[in-house]
Amino acid sequence: MFEIYAKALIRDIQNTGNKDIAVDSIYFGGGTPTLMPAKLLCDICEAVKNSFNTAEDTEITVESNPFTADKNYYKELIEAGFNRISFGVQSCLDRELKALGRLHSFEQAEKSVLEAHDAGFENISCDLMMGIIGQSVESLIYSIDKLCSLPIKHISAYMLKIENGTPYDCDEIRNSIADDDKSVDMYLTAVEGLKENGFEQYEISNFCKGGMRSRHNMKYWQLKPYYGFGSSAHSFVGGKRYYYGRDIVGYINAPEKLLEDGECNALEEYTMLSLRLSDGMSVQRYKELGGDIAKLETLADRLCRHCMAEYDGKRLSLNAKGFLVSNSIIAELI
């Protein structure tokens, strides 16, 4: 099945390819790509390089779960040009990993990170979950310190969210996870703890060392165009969004099943995405897209008085306290 799916991906990449399109980021994710043989990932990556105008310093990322690959696997990816890897670690305490239903231990996660680094990955990212059942502020600090002791350059830190229809969608679980007050404490603790360990917060949930922001994710947040390939993959090209259906067999058998998701509302999307970033929102761009400057200035004044943002007349940027209520801020502006 992996080989058939890889062939379908390569087919669509080649059909879409255009040497006039510049590419400086390739991302393998949306699941656990490292369940596939390394050769298939390398073949797909090579298809992208051959089909588009790919920059010499292209950031090539693969998502992975601990224990799904080993040092030889990582070396094979390095030789093919992969230079960034993202691990779904989530916690450094086994009891919290068990509560999440994860199949790995922290010992396995640590081993995977070290093996990837030894194989040649210098740009390593790890996911950290907050609000896990039984997690305390103290155990969160422990996980932050343990993660930051590893040779990693990037951390994505998210609050646990219970999705409808999942096994965790029940009152017992909902009543066991962090409430709003505890979630605030955890988030602010994580921001401060990561800062103390040398990680810059550049987005609501993302932190990096040495300016190693995720180039790929920055394209989403800055409304740059991108192509997605595979079942459920999304693209944003020419101001319009497209996507493939979730049916993997259907995707393999029907190469023309790219569906249009409609045009985006430029003002809404710019406001929502730019305020996720520590760089903030350009007042000029907001105005060009039809934003209400008087409303923006009134809101900015209020946010600054409550120490939730910075505003210099040219840019509005939220800080950690502002990020906590960013949804209501964005709603007010749009």
Report how far residue 152's alpha carbon sits from residue 87's, in angstroms, rounded to the nearest whole number: 10
Q: Choose among 53, 60, 59: nearest CA to 28.
A: 60
> Do 180 and 253 fall into the same domain?
no
Q: What is the DSSP annotation of 146-206?
A: HHHTSS-SEEEEEE----TTSTT-SHHHHTTS--HHHHHHHHHHHHHHHHHTT-EEEETTE
3-state secondary structure of 18: strand
Mean pLDDT within 130-148: 96
> Do 106 and 242 fall into the same domain?
no
**Residue 162 pLDDT greater than 70, yes or no:** no
Tens-digit pLDDT profile for residues 228-257: 999 999 999 988 889 888 889 988 987 656
Report how far residue 153's alpha carbon sits from residue 240's, in angstroms, rounded to the nearest whole number: 33
pLDDT band at residue 264 under the 50/70/90 scheme: confident
Do residues 56 and 246 lie in contact, with contact meaning Cβ atoms separated by under 8 Å? no
> Do 173 and 148 fall into the same domain?
yes
3-state secondary structure of 106: helix
Mean pLDDT within 210-222: 96
Q: Which domain holds residue 164?
A: 2-220
DSSP letter (8 states) at residue 228: -
Asked whether residue 225 is domain-assigned, the answer is no
Report how far residue 204's alpha carbon sits from residue 184's, in angstroms, rounded to the nearest whole number: 13
pLDDT band at residue 269 under the 50/70/90 scheme: very high
> Do 63 and 200 fall into the same domain?
yes
Asked whether residue 129 is domain-assigned, the answer is yes
Mean pLDDT within 296-309: 97
Domain end marker among 186, 220, 254: 220
> Do 69 and 185 fall into the same domain?
yes
Please give the backbone phi and psi of residue 118, each rounded to the nearest 5 degrees, phi first: -65, -30
- Higher-confidence residue of 170 and 169: namely 170
Report how far residue 119's alpha carbon sits from residue 73's, in angstroms, rounded to the nearest whole number: 9
Domain count, the chain: 3
Report how far residue 159's alpha carbon sits from residue 326's, in angstroms, rounded to the nearest whole number: 14
Residue 126 is part of a domain; what is its CATH number? 3.20.20.70
Report how far residue 111's alpha carbon sits from residue 93's, in angstroms, rounded to the nearest whole number: 14
Report how far residue 14's alpha carbon sits from residue 5's, in angstroms, rounded to the nearest whole number: 14
**Residue 305 pLDDT greater than 80, yes or no:** yes
DSSP letter (8 states) at residue 246: S
Mean pLDDT within 254-269: 76
Mean pLDDT within 86-109: 96
Two structure tokens written together for 151: 């040779």
Report how far residue 125's alpha carbon sits from residue 131's, in angstroms, rounded to the nearest whole number: 20
Asked whether residue 273 is domain-assigned, the answer is no
Report how far residue 328's alpha carbon sits from residue 325's, in angstroms, rounded to the nearest whole number: 6
- 3-state helix vs strand vs coil in the chain, percent to 5: 45, 25, 30
Report CA-CA distances (Å) from 35 to 5, 61, 65: 13, 15, 9
Residues in the chain: 334
**Residue 1 pLDDT greater than 90, yes or no:** no
> Do 50 and 149 fall into the same domain?
yes
> Do 321 and 299 fall into the same domain?
yes
> Do 69 and 26 fall into the same domain?
yes
Asked whether residue 7 is domain-assigned, the answer is yes
Q: What residues have CB less than 8 Å from 20, skipping those under 6 apart? A: 53
Do residues 298 and 333 lie in contact, with contact meaning Cβ atoms separated by under 8 Å? no
Report how far residue 40's alpha carbon sits from residue 19's, in angstroms, rounded to the nearest whole number: 23
Asked whether residue 272 is domain-assigned, the answer is no
Asked whether residue 73 is domain-assigned, the answer is yes
pLDDT band at residue 169 under the 50/70/90 scheme: very low
Give the pLDDT score at 239: 86
Q: Choose among 126, 118, 117: nearest CA to 148.
A: 126
Mean pLDDT within 137-160: 97
> Do 51 and 18 fall into the same domain?
yes
Mean pLDDT of the chain: 93
Two structure tokens written together for 49: 């390089």
Two structure tokens written together for 183: 């979630």
**Residue 156 pLDDT greater than 70, yes or no:** yes
Tens-digit pLDDT profile for residues 30-76: 889 999 999 999 999 999 999 999 999 999 999 999 989 999 999 99
Asked whether residue 293 is domain-assigned, the answer is yes
Asked whether residue 64 is domain-assigned, the answer is yes
Give the pLDDT score at 168: 55
> Do 295 and 237 fall into the same domain?
no
> Do 216 and 234 fall into the same domain?
no
**Residue 176 pLDDT greater than 60, yes or no:** no
Report how far residue 234's alpha carbon sits from residue 259's, in angstroms, rounded to the nearest whole number: 9
> Do 53 and 166 fall into the same domain?
yes
Model confidence, pTM: 0.93
3-state secondary structure of 138: helix
